[in-house]
Amino acid sequence: MPEAHVEAPTVGSVILASLLLKLGGFGFLRYSLPLFTAANRALVGAIYILALLGVLYASLTTIRQIDLKRIIAYSSVAHMNLAVLGMFAFTQQGLDGSVYLMLGHGLVSGALFMCIGVLYDRYHTRLLHYYSGIATVMPLFACVFFVFTTANMGFPGTVNFVAEFLIYTGLFDHNAFISTLAIPAIVFSAVYSIWLYNRVAFGTLKTQYLHYFTDLYRTETGILLVFVLGTLYFGLATTDILDPAYNGTK
């Protein structure tokens, strides 16, 4: 997945994160869980171990990346592994949280890849070393990027917060030990999200590398505004997603 994101253009990364990555989760929810109940419960220990390793390993790997796309890509892997943990909690909260996280992941990760694409379109590099002080010359971009950065680490009021809260609640009811082991992922997500935003937006502008400064174009603003509204709306109006999801799983 990270290699696919790095090699793909911005549009490809957005489609991959927002749509194609959800096919695996859809398969679990619509086919594996309802059709192979006994097998799922027999192998749930192995699934927990693999998903837990995926969450923690991907989160730690995200922290040490220097390529902007790789940071978002490994973060994306960590969040989808967390969705798998919620699915196999065999609780209503866990299932609802998984559905909600897949929705939130599509919005937030897709928007973050668009933000990285905006920077790459202007400066033709994704290496973190060359970026600093972007907020001083691209204030609108910095504000939009801040919204998605906070959403990516599950800040209250955003869609990811609702999803992660439900997943951890449902998982704790089913297996408190696994839930406790997965809790450090919350801290790691805050670490790499804050670290990324701080390095890109704040500090001294590196004019020896960045020479052309222009904020978001009208088209970019319109597209990202849709993602912003979706991220905040589903973070506050939770029943619009949870009620249909609950009715579909009764």
**What confidence category does residue 246 fall into, taking pLDDT thresholds of 50, 70 and 90?**
low
Q: How far is CA 133 from CA 27, 130, 185, 200, in A?
A: 43, 10, 28, 6
Instruction: Please state, in angstroms and as integers, the Cα–Cα distance from residue 82 to each residue in 99, 129, 181, 185, 196, following that order.
Output: 11, 30, 12, 9, 21
User: Which single residue is written with the structure tokens 């897709």?
Assistant: 110
Report the C-alpha gap between 224 and 216 in whole angstroms.
10
The span from the CA of 43 to the CA of 47, in Å, is 6
Contact 148, 112 (CB under 8 A): yes
Note whether 140 and 216 are within 8 A (CB).
yes
Q: Taking residues 213-240, what's their average pLDDT? A: 88
Whether the pLDDT of residue 223 is over 80: the answer is yes
Q: pTM for the whole thing? A: 0.88
pLDDT of residue 198: 92
Q: Is the pLDDT of residue 173 over 80?
A: yes
How sure is the predictor about 147, in pLDDT bands with cuts at 50, 70 and 90?
very high
Q: According to the model, what pLDDT value does residue 125 have?
A: 84
Q: Mean pLDDT, the chain, as a whole number?
A: 87
Please give the residue range of the domain that contains residue 137: 2-249
Buried-exposed string 8-20: b where 16+ CB fall within 10 A, e elsewhere: bebeebbebbbee
- Asked if residue 153 has pLDDT above 60, the reply is yes
What is the tally of structural domains in the chain? 1
Q: What pLDDT, on the 0 to 100 scale, is given for residue 148?
A: 93
Q: Residue 120 above 90 pLDDT? A: no
10-13, long-range: CB < 8 A, 24+ apart: 10/113, 10/114, 10/116, 10/117, 10/120, 10/121, 13/69, 13/73, 13/113, 13/116, 13/117
The answer, yes or no, to whether residue 248 has pLDDT greater than 80, is: no
What's the confidence (pLDDT) of residue 81? 92
